[in-house]
Amino acid sequence: MLLQIPDLLDANQLGSVRQYLDQADFVHGKATAGKAAGNVKHNLELDRAAPMRDKLVEAVMSTLLAHRVFQAAAYPARVSTPIFARYTEGMGYGDHVDDPVMGEADGRYRSDVSLTLFLNDPDDYEGGELTIDTAFGEQQVKLPAGHVVLYPSSSRHRVEPVISGERLVMVTWLQSQVRESERRALLFDLWRAREQLLAESPEDETTKRVDVSYVNLMRMWVEI
């Protein structure tokens, strides 16, 4: 499932993030790439030793983790520390698949869902599209600042070379309580239908049946 979530961050939050990143030190991104991806990765990433980085991470991730649509689509069990990445002219990230297992030795997790949060607007740069290989062909994603896209970590994807300007994003990965992408997609569709029914006709028998089906599918498929 490829899902866009608009306006995760508002204008004030984006302004604070951009102000911090404009003054922070960035290093080459190859250090955080897997063996295969390192050969095709050409970007800059916020230095992990940057002052106040932890507060930036906490502010953005707390907003993400509290978002109801994100919760219903991803069912997060473990979420990685995000990477803030900058792509300037000529930089890109060639075809790759995210590593199946990530994290340090004492906190390993399976990557089920990949996420990109766009931190500047499409007009700020030419090129730089996130291209994702899906069952329906390649999908190109280039969203307004503050918007998020989620997609299965098993998908082959790339970042097209930036022709001019600067692309600024946050990326992260998570292990889901629901391992299979198809099941997450089914549950998310059912959740949206359930939300609408609960809002419009909470006492209707159809609403109650959909609610029971959603809850019991979760019971069947969630891994704790």
Element (H, E) at 187: helix 181-200
Q: Which one is predicted more confidently, 103 or 151?
A: 151
Which pLDDT band, with edges at 50, 70 and 90, does 103 fall under? confident
Q: Does domain 3-176 have CATH number 2.60.120.620?
A: yes
Higher confidence at residue 32 or residue 49? 49
pLDDT digits (tens, 9 = 90+) for 12-44: 999 999 999 999 999 998 877 766 677 899 999
Q: Tokens 């306006």 correspond to what residue? A: 7
Query: Residues 54-83: pLDDT tens digits?
Result: 999 999 999 999 999 999 999 999 999 999
Q: Residue 1 in contact with residue 152, Cβ under 8 Å? A: yes
Give the pLDDT score at 34. 66
Q: Tell me the domain boundaries of the chain.
A: 3-176, 181-221
Length of the chain: 224
Model pTM score: 0.94
Tell me what percent of the residues of the chain surpass a pLDDT of 90: 91
The pLDDT, as a whole number, for residue 30 is 81
